[in-house]
Amino acid sequence: MKSEYILSMEHITKAYGENVVLGDVSLQIRPGEIHALVGENGAGKSTLMNILFGMPVIHSTGGYQGQVLLDGERTQILSPFEAMAKGIGMVHQEFMLLPGFTITENIKLNREISKPTVLSRIFGKNLEKLDMPTMSRDARKALDSVGMGIEEFTLVKGLPVGYMQFIEIAREIDKTGIRLMVFDEPTAVLTESEAEKLIQVMRNIAASGIAIIFITHRLDEVMAASDRITVLRDGQLAATHNTSETSLVELAELMIGRRSDIVHRERREEPQNSAPRIALHVEDLSVEMPGEEVQGITLDVYEGEILGIGGLAGQGKIGIPNGIMGLYRAQGKAEFFGQPFMLGNPHKALASGMAMVSEDRREVGLLLDQSIEDNIIFNAMQVKGEYLYNLLGSKSPVRIQLRDSKAIRKIAQEMIKALDIRCTSPTQHTGTLSGGNQQKVCIARALALNPKFLFVCEPTRGIDIGAKQLVLNTLTRMNRDLGMTLVVVSSELNEMRSICDRIAIVTEGKVFDILPVDAPEAAYGLAMSGIAAQKEEKGDA
């Protein structure tokens, strides 16, 4: 008997240790429908798909609760290969294609058709000769079904990225018995016309009875392509709607969520007489940070403000501070307090009064097997030559500089008190601190430089709620009391809304929009999926 749903995931709950990433989420997919799955980063989309594909990361962390039914039958998928065997296919976001192989070879990778030979009779099936003509015929058929006219014996190397997406799809279609296909952000690398073509292909596939789960952050494409939509938020099921009965704005709101607990900080007194001075001006900034590429950003940061930079993961928001500080290769023009600023030199950036609290505490931010005090003064000592004294006296022209332990201890104790760093002593190694206290050491280190301009990346990532508030309070105090200009880059939109003056949303490597903190939730949701601009364009036309 055929079930109404080809896939039904019921009451799925998954926790990594204490951290619940999915709570009682259900998802039902009908045969032949395009079902969109939307949500912010960390909403639980990937975890849900990892459960569906039986990824090792799920089973090595204690499995999940709830059940998965395929075509009405209760199943337990324990490995990606099992998922494949059960007719579930994946079109990857990152292309799983071999550039040195032809299209046919890629489509038939590890599913080659072969003929027996003398060698194979002795050594087994692995030494059978490939049957290229048959393989090519199959590949041709699969390519035709996705509307690709390209020759099947072309090498994948050198093909436009748009083609690669279709080859991936053709490969999934070529697999026999495929019933359900997952498209993970398939349009992320496509041009607009290619994306339209892709959606057409998806419709054709769905019409042949194969169900599609369409994961994307582009809400307009969701509206255009899907039959039904499931929205996840913070690991919870926000809603499942028929596409015809919902709207862009409603989706955007569902994605971001209404929260009443946001306390906007007191607005600063706007200077009356003149326009605010520009602290940092970047023009056409591009940063080659893998996974967070920035592609031509122009942005002004005003003196004395807290600017928030938000956006979904992988869209480039993290790349901005990393590029300006010179941690990744960057191109473009920058001016710092009116002076031309050379990109690509972390030492100069620090010396000129910029500092950064890295998003990667453990790899970039801290020297984990060094003491708290050494971590705090490290940059100040290396960049500014502070916390050193001259063995031969301060007037001697010959300089033999040694660390000034007294001054170091003094600043460390000040910082520990001011930031409430919970530790046994200033000599405790930072590797043994909790996440929140490590973050405070990172901030202390930046403060020890006395910067006039500070980048703070993901200030509250991986720290508990009490510490979060403390870190946020510290940031506002630094801004208010020390007059420091702050740029906060964070995935936590609501936290930024509680401390920032303005928030820039970065989408696909560009500043998509700069919103005031009291803008409606839907505006943020739409900006993150890159929609408002298209509306404006249409409005202009």
Partner 1 sequence: MGDWNVKTFLRNNAVTLMFVLLCVVFTAYSGMSPAYVAFELISRIARNGFIVLALIIPIVAGMGINFAISIGAMAAQIGLLWVLEWRITGITGLVVAAGITVPLATLFGFLAGKLLNKMKGQEMIGSMILGFFANGVYQLLFLFIFGNVIPLNTPGLVIKGSTGVANTMNLSGPAQLLYALDGLLRVRFELPGSSPAASGGTAGQNTFILPLLPTFYVLAGLAAAAALSMYLKKRVSLTKFVVIMSAAVLAVVAVQFPAVQSVFSMLSLPVATFAVIAALCLLNVVLLRTRLGQQLRAVGQNRTVANASGINVDRTRIIAIIISTVLAGFGQLIFLQNIGNVLTYGAHEQVGLYAGAAILVGGASIARATNSQALLGCVLFHLLFIVAPPAANTLFGDPGIGEYFRVFVSYGVIALALVLHVWKGAKAKKVIRAAKGAQGI
Binding positions for partner 1, rule: CB under 8 A: 80-81, 84, 92, 96-101, 105, 109-112, 114, 117, 119-120, 125-130, 160-161, 189, 191, 288, 295
> To which H or E segment does residue 413 belong?
helix 405-419
Least distance from partner 1 to the Cβ atom of residue 168, Å: 11
Least distance from partner 1 to the Cβ atom of residue 409, Å: 43
Torsion angles phi and psi, residue 504, rounded to 5: -95, 135
Least distance from partner 1 to the Cβ atom of residue 187, Å: 12
Least distance from partner 1 to the Cβ atom of residue 160, Å: 7
Beta bridge partners of 511: 506
**Residue with Cβ nearer partner 1 (157 or 203):** 157
Least distance from partner 1 to the Cβ atom of residue 331, Å: 10
Report the distance separating Cα 453 and Cα 321, nearest Å. 11
Identify the DSSP state of 541.
-
**Residue with Cβ nearer partner 1 (130 or 249):** 130
**Residue with Cβ nearer partner 1 (71 or 194):** 194
Task: Count Cα atoms within 13 angstroms, Cβ side, for 99.
Answer: 5
Beta bridge partners of 70: 7, 73
**Residue with Cβ nearer partner 1 (174 or 521):** 174
Helix (H, G, I), strand (E, B) or coil at 414: helix
**Residue with Cβ nearer partner 1 (296 or 385):** 296
Report the distance separating Cα 139 and Cα 137, nearest Å. 5
Least distance from partner 1 to the Cβ atom of residue 53, Å: 11
Inter-residue contact 356 to 457 (CB < 8 Å): yes
Alpha helix locations (H) across 16-131? 45-52, 56-59, 80-85, 103-107, 118-123
Torsion angles phi and psi, residue 269, rounded to 5: -65, 125
Report the distance separating Cα 47 and Cα 512, nearest Å. 28
**Residue with Cβ nearer partner 1 (96 or 388):** 96
**Residue with Cβ nearer partner 1 (82 or 360):** 82
* C-alpha distance from residue 371 to each of 368, 391, 407, 437, 438 (Å): 8, 24, 15, 13, 11
Least distance from partner 1 to the Cβ atom of residue 390, Å: 43
Beta bridge partners of 177: none
CA torsion through residues 456, 515, 473, 354, sign: positive
Inter-residue contact 496 to 524 (CB < 8 Å): no
Structural tokens at position 537: 């364009």
**Residue with Cβ nearer partner 1 (99 or 147):** 99
**Residue with Cβ nearer partner 1 (115 or 277):** 115
Alpha helix locations (H) across 420-531? 435-448, 465-482, 493-499, 521-528
Least distance from partner 1 to the Cβ atom of residue 462, Å: 26
Least distance from partner 1 to the Cβ atom of residue 170, Å: 14
